[in-house]
Amino acid sequence: MQKIQVIEKKKKKMKQKRKTHAALKSIDSLMVDMPFANTDIGDDSVITSASEKNIKKKRKRNTGREKEDSKTMKKNKKQSQPNYFISLPITNPKIIGGIQALQDIIVQKDHRLSKAMVRYGSLHITLLVMHLSTEEEVGIAVGAFLESKDSIEELLQGKQLDLSFQGIDDFKNEVGFVKLAEGDCTAMLMEISETMKKIFQEKGILAGENRAFKPHLTFMKLSKSPDLRKQVKKIDPNLYKNFKSHYFGNETLHRLDLCSMLKKKQPNGYYHCESSITVRGGNKSQFKDYMEILY
């Protein structure tokens, strides 16, 4: 009877050992995928010199690998960073004038911020960003862009799309923008952006961002000047408090452009355009007034 009990006890012990081993093994495999897998947590146990050497070797290997990983990540990030975008140009002189007045007031209060101001020739709403790595891809994107005209006009059903600009907001106090009054028109703008994104993606173009589309009209951004960025970390919202609910005017959608972020801008200050589409129902006289201001 006693012998059986001893055997049973031994069996139990073995079973427990196997269980613990399996559990440790599965934790190990999980740790490999964790961000802290290679970090030195540090503990208070004594490390023998042999294992210390091994750890040092492993660390050296890991830091080398980490450096390589971060280099690859930076390269990948650069390769997928947007360099083209679809722009809805702002052409209404009333909006442009209002933004100039706002920019002047801000610069009067802090001269350094003049470097952050968006020039009036390039005021726009970004509908979609994308990365195009070769001229061949630019060609494919132009094709997708031209193709999207019919879908946009179908969405609009011959109606004019009037966008109303009122009030100011910011992204992380680093980008100042005029807000679009929310309503049917901004919902339509979102639909247009979504439709275009699908068309581009179907052609294999890397288009769109992870964040949700938030239509906005940028009038200043610290990232325009790396020097300024070192001096000014955040835009003080008090600088534009008098414009917090100012009505800037309306813009009717009449044209969209596929623009480069990096190629040299046009003499009028607007981006380099690869292609443009005019949208049926757009306000041509507003566009004519704008061209008269620019030239």
Ligand X SMILES: Nc1ccn([C@@H]2O[C@H](COP(=O)(O)O)[C@@H](O)[C@H]2O)c(=O)n1
Catalog residues that contact ligand X under the rule CB under 6 A.
126, 171, 175, 211, 214, 216, 218, 221, 223
Nearer to ligand X, 38 or 83 (CB): 83
Tokens at residue 200, please? 């581009």
CB atoms within 10 A of CB 72: 10
Pick the closer one to ligand X by CB: 175 or 185.
175
Q: Please report how close the Cβ of residue 126 comes to ligand X at its closest, in angstroms.
A: 3
* Shortest separation between residue 39's beta carbon and ligand X, angstroms: 30
Q: What is the CA angle 245-246-247, rounded to 5?
A: 115
DSSP 43: -
Measured between alpha carbons, how far is 271 from 118 in angstroms, rounded to an integer? 12
Q: Say if CB 58 and CB 106 are below 8 A apart.
A: no
84 vs 243 by CB, closer to ligand X: 84
CB of 209 to ligand X, least distance (A): 8
Cβ 179 to ligand X shortest distance, Å: 12
Output the six-digit token pair for 137: 């891809």
Q: Which is nearer to ligand X, 103 or 218 (CB)?
A: 218
Which of residues 126 and 193 has its CB atom nearest to ligand X in the complex? Answer: 126
C-alpha–C-alpha distance, residues 219 and 240, integer Å: 11
Min CB(218)–ligand X separation in Å: 3
Assess contact for 195 and 152: CB atoms under 8 A: yes
The smaller minimum CB distance to ligand X, of residues 171 and 247, is found at 171
Q: Whole-angstrom Cα distance, residue 295 to residue 290?
A: 9
Whole-number Å distance between alpha carbons of 94 and 17: 79
Distance, in Å, from the CA atom of 91 to the CA atom of 286, rounded to the nearest integer, reads 7
Instruction: Give 82 or 93: the residue with its C-beta nearer to ligand X.
Output: 82
Question: Three-state DSSP class for 176?
Answer: strand
User: How far apart are CB 132 and ligand X at their closest, in Å?
Assistant: 16
Tokens of 207: 């288009």
Cβ 43 to ligand X, closest distance in Å? 41
- Beta-bridge partners for 221: 175
